[in-house]
Amino acid sequence: MPRVRTTVDGVTYEGEVEARLLLTHYLRDRLGKVGTPIGCDTSNCGACTVLLDGMSVKSCTMLAVQADGSEITTIEGLDGQAAASANGEAAGHPVQKAFREFHALQCGYCTPGMIMAAVDLLRDNPDPSDTEIREGLEGNLCRCTGYVNIVRAVQSAAAELRGTPS
Amino acid sequence: MIPAKFSYVRPESLDEAVQALDGAGEDTKVLAGGQSLLPLLRLRLAYPEAIVDLTRLGELRGVRDEGGHLWIGSGTTHHELIRDPLVRQHAGLLAQTAATVADPAVRHRGTLGGSLAHADPAADLPATVLTLDGELVVRGPGGERTIPASSFFVDYLTSVLRPAEILTGIRIPKTWGGWNFHYEKFCRTAQSWAIVGVAAAVRRSDGAVAEARLGLTNMGSTPLRAQAVEAAVQSSAPGSHDALRAAAASADDGTSPPSDLHGQADYRRHLVRVLTARALITASRL
Ligand SMILES: Cc1cc2nc3c(=O)[nH]c(=O)nc-3n(C[C@H](O)[C@H](O)[C@H](O)COP(=O)(O)OP(=O)(O)OC[C@H]3O[C@@H](n4cnc5c(N)ncnc54)[C@H](O)[C@@H]3O)c2cc1C
Ligand code: FES
Ligand code: FES
């Protein structure tokens, strides 16, 4: 069986995998990274989005062997120091915090993928317009929110990341 | 679903890849970005015995200026096409078209070569490569051959590629200096495939359109050129929006659009006339 060596959320893993194992199943079933959900069978929904060497990919549309030698970030590793900070303020990446603050989720199923796609979008374009946010997130479907609060959350996170709070 | 079992090789060079394909059975598939193949494997619409993964082949990557033409590695991703300075300078229509394909995550992995080899008539890049008079460079056990885009596509999901052949690069002639471009894609929701798409390249002279090249997406079992419109433009040199609309009226000549969930054939015939006019008007900057 082929071997795969990846760094996932800062930890290096190595082992044999079946060639047909999808990256998303590798993350969930082998590494226990169940923060990354699977929402469809057609590569459309984006729920499974992770960062592969910093760029968003649909982890259901890759073989685990194709990630060999790569660095992967899932929603679970987005915030390096995931524990709550000393003053009791909830921790999280600015995009995670903004999703919470702006009520950018209802059932939450799309949220991990939506946040990963948003992080990738802001890396590429730190000051996006509302239209650019909608286009940047077009590979991520949300059946609950109607997207309005998601766009607001991403705008707010963008401002925070730029150091100009809105 | 979980794909059916297959054996997997990941060659480190093109020679090795060709050898692997040559030695393998007919039921072997090449894997590039996987953005068409993986969905097929997961739905078990494809169940190859073996997969040859091209993602490690540096020879298939990059964009080079080779004098008379631009060479674009087949492994160039849609994401890279949109940003590449040489592509933007000499083949801006390709960058524009790539930006309409799927969504950012798919564009990070999907490749130009995969899109052409897959030969889906609903895919956007084939019509654009056809419009730009592109050539496809292919390597197989017998050596290299070059195939004009106009004779590459044979039928729905079928090209002239032989089982052990690998598409290595795409050549675009560097003759598009004075031309303007537009890709007009019609789809109803974000991230979806074109119901119809029109790629337009336009050259102006004396305040009118002197020449146009037009490629059509999803108007038949292969990408097509709108030759009747190209001829009409050539003979009438349209200088107004109305004149361009008149030229576009023959955009469905010689097409055989499908009827499917997204639209009936007569609707596509109507659409292609409207979209060709829009593409010409936008590209003409009139
Ligand atoms: C959600 C979603 C939406 C999409 N929307 C669009 C869209 O709007 N427009 C559009 O045009 N496309 C769309 N696509 C398809 C996308 O553009 C694919 O990237 C592309 O069609 C295939 O490229 P790939 O590199 O991923 O090829 P793969 O999936 O790896 O391969 C596709 C086929 O080509 C063969 N192949 C690949 N590379 C080579 C090569 N170098 N030599 C010989 N054979 C080769 C493979 O064997 C396979 O049969 C979409 C895909 C998804 C998942
Ligand atoms: S689960 Fe990956 S795109 Fe839907
Ligand atoms: S919050 Fe339910 S799908 Fe987005």
User: Does residue B164 sit in the same domain as residue B65?
Assistant: yes
Are residues A93 and A40 part of one domain? no
Q: Are residues A14 and A73 in the same domain?
A: yes
Which residues partner with A71 through β-bridges?
A: A7
Residues A37/A58, Cβ–Cβ less than 8 Å: no
**Ligand 3 atom nearest A114 alpha carbon:** 4
Domain count, chain B: 3
User: Which residue of B lies nearest to A59 if distances are taken between CA atoms?
Assistant: B105
**Based on the domain organization, do A29 and A63 belong to the same domain?**
yes
What DSSP letter does each residue of B99-113 carry, written as one string?
TTSS-HHHHHH-BHH
Share of chain B above pLDDT 70, in %: 100
| DSSP conformation letters of B12-34 | SSHHHHHHHHHHS-TTEEEESS-
**Whether B87 and B190 share a structural domain:** no
Is residue B155 domain-shared with residue B86, that is, in the same domain? yes
Range of the domain at A110: 83-162
State whether B169 and B191 are in the same domain: no
Q: Residue B24: which CATH number?
A: 3.30.43.10
Test site for ligand 2: of A22, A34, A48, most ligand atoms within 8 A of the Cβ: A48
CATH number at residue B145: 3.30.465.10
* Ligand 1 surroundings by CB, under 6 angstroms: A 43-44, 61; B 29-37, 39, 54, 74, 101-102, 106, 110-111, 113-115, 117-118, 123-125, 161, 166-167, 191, 193
Residue of A23, A41, A138, A143 to mutate for B, most B C-beta atoms under 10 A = A138
Task: Judge if ipTM > 0.90.
Answer: yes
pTM of the model: 0.96
Q: Provide the residue range defining the domain that includes B44.
A: 7-53
Residues B45-82 pLDDT 10s: 999 999 999 999 999 999 999 999 999 999 999 999 99
> Same structural domain for residues B136 and B47?
no
- Regions of chain A short of the pLDDT cut 50: 81-85
User: What pLDDT was estimated at residue A88?
Assistant: 52
Give the residues of chain B that fall short of pLDDT 50: none
pLDDT at residue A42, as a whole number: 92
CATH number of B219's domain = 3.30.390.50
Domain boundary among A77, A107, A137: A77
Whole-number Å distance, alpha carbon B30 to ligand 1 midpoint, is 11
What would the two tokens of residue B243 be?
A: 């004149």
H-state helical runs in B69-137: 78-83, 85-90, 92-98, 104-109, 112-118, 124-131
Residue A84 is predicted with a pLDDT of: 46
Residues A72, A88 within the same domain: no
Is B20 a domain residue?
Answer: yes
Is residue B185 domain-shared with residue B220, that is, in the same domain? yes
Flag whether B38 is in a domain: yes
CATH number at residue A141: 1.10.150.120
In whole angstroms, what separates CA B197 from the centre of its chain? 11
